[in-house]
Amino acid sequence: MEQQQEEIQAQVETQIIEVQDKAETRDEILLAALKLFAEKGFFNTSLTEIAEAAGVKNTSAVYHHFKNKQAIATQLFANILDSLNISIDDIRRKNQKSSEQLRGIVDLLFKLTDDAPDVMRFLLILKLDEFLPEEKPMLETPAFIKIYKIIQSGIKAGEIRSIDPMLVNAYFFGIINNTLRMVLTGALDKNADAYQSQVWLAAWNAIAKK
């Protein structure tokens, strides 16, 4: 009985491990690809390199998980935007005012820049439509539509200046993203966190109703 249970336990563990292995191989590929794309760009990264970095000695293994190189990038793009979208939902639920919601988003972006710079490089630096020409432009994805709505609410509520919401977007994320881009490329030498509070203030002041 005990032995049987142990066997079952062992089987379950094996299954978990197998499942993990499957997931891990796929994830290893995605992770390796993200890193390489962020470092050298999509076109400078060969499938051979991705395979190596993922711990497989072979491009064929990669082709078993993904139709082609583009499909890897597409999946990365979807994953990143999904998790961004979920985070934004969370932020909207926990905060009422547009200013607070934007503050939350800024907090998230700065954290990501320090903790997952490759993700932010993918979002801010790579020219996505060069290798994902059929994907929707970022501004039309759920995450960014929600940001647009936050801005609209802020204007309606009198928190934000009454100008074209798209210009508000341009000002606010112009300051935020450009700063983060400079952190990512090393033009600014401290980590993102060191700049966060002052950059937030500058960005918010650029769009806040006086």
Partner DNA sequence: GTCTATACGCCGATAGAC
Partner DNA sequence: GTCTATCGGCGTATAGAC
Q: Taking CB under 7 A as the rule, does residue 39 contact DNA?
A: no
- Residue 22 contact partner, candidates DNA, its own copies, none, CB within 5 to 8 A by sort of partner: DNA
CB count, 10 Å around CB of 5? 9
Of the candidates 98, 194, 197, the one whose C-alpha atom is nearest the C-alpha of residue 149 is: 98
Site track for DNA across 65-104, x = CB under 7 A: x-xxxx----------------------------------
Among 14, 20, 58, 83, binds DNA (CB under 7 A): 58
Element (H, E) at 59: helix 59-65
Q: Distance between CA 2 and CA 202 in Å, rounded?
A: 65
In the bound state with DNA, the residue whose beta carbon lies nearer, of 27 and 114, is: 27
- 35 contributes a contact to DNA by CB under 7 A: no
Work out whether 56 is an interface residue with DNA (CB under 7 A): yes
Cβ burial 188-206 (10 Å sphere, 16+ → b, else e): beeebeebbeebbeebbee
Q: What is the rounded CA–CA span in Å between residue 195 and residue 209? A: 23
Rounded Cα distance between 68 and 174, Å, is 34
127 contacts which partner out of its own copies, DNA, none, CB within 5 to 8 A by kind? its own copies
Question: Would you count residue 21 as binding DNA (CB under 7 A)?
Answer: yes
Q: Answer yes or no whether residue 57 interacts with DNA by CB under 7 A.
A: yes
Shorter beta-carbon distance to its own copies: residue 108 or 126: 126
DSSP conformation class of 165: H
| Chain residues in the site for DNA (CB under 7 A) | 21-22, 25, 45-48, 56-61, 63-65, 67-70
